[in-house]
């Protein structure tokens, strides 16, 4: 018998909920937190359970997609979510984004 079931997909938060809480979401209204958690246009993407588990609540400084060719697009999406929701990013996030996009990582060093 051939299964016609689709593989299970999970909602991966590009900018993780726990990190968002630490980086400013704790001051948001309940409505804004719900909007953020369910933002399918910017912050949610369907992935397999293994990828979702490996990423967990990690930011760019700790996790990048296994497909390096998608790294720059993913980093740009992460930074866009951070900008749109006025969430902080770490120097490590910026460094990882620079590397993923082929930029000089020295531009992210603190002065």
Using the Cα atoms of residue 109, residue 80, residue 17 and residue 11 in order, give the sign of their dihedral.
negative
Beta carbons within 10 angstroms of residue 64's beta carbon: 20
Per-residue model confidence as pLDDT tens digits over 38-85: 999 999 988 888 888 888 899 999 999 999 999 999 999 999 999 999
Beta strand 44-47 with 10-13 is: antiparallel
The predicted pLDDT at position 59 comes to 95
Residue-averaged pLDDT of the chain:
87
67 sits in the region (left: phi over 0; alpha: psi -120 to 50; else beta) called beta
Please report which confidence band the pLDDT of residue 3 belongs to, taking 50, 70 and 90 as the band edges: very low
pLDDT > 70 in the chain, percent: 85
* Residues facing residue 46 across a β-bridge: 11
Q: What is the pTM of this model?
A: 0.84
């Amino acid at each position: 018998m051939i299964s016609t079931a689709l593989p299970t997909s999970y909602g991966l938060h590009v900018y993780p909920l726990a990190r968002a809480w630490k980086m400013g979401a704790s001051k948001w209204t309940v409505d804004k937190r719900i909007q953020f958690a369910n933002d399918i246009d910017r912050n949610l993407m369907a992935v397999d359970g293994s990828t979702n588990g490996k990423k967990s609540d990690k930011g760019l400084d700790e996790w990048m997609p296994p497909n390096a060719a998608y790294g720059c697009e993913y980093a740009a999406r992460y930074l866009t979510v951070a900008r749109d929701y006025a969430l902080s990013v770490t120097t490590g996030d910026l460094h990882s984004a620079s590397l993923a996009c082929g930029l000089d990582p020295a531009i992210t060093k603190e002065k």
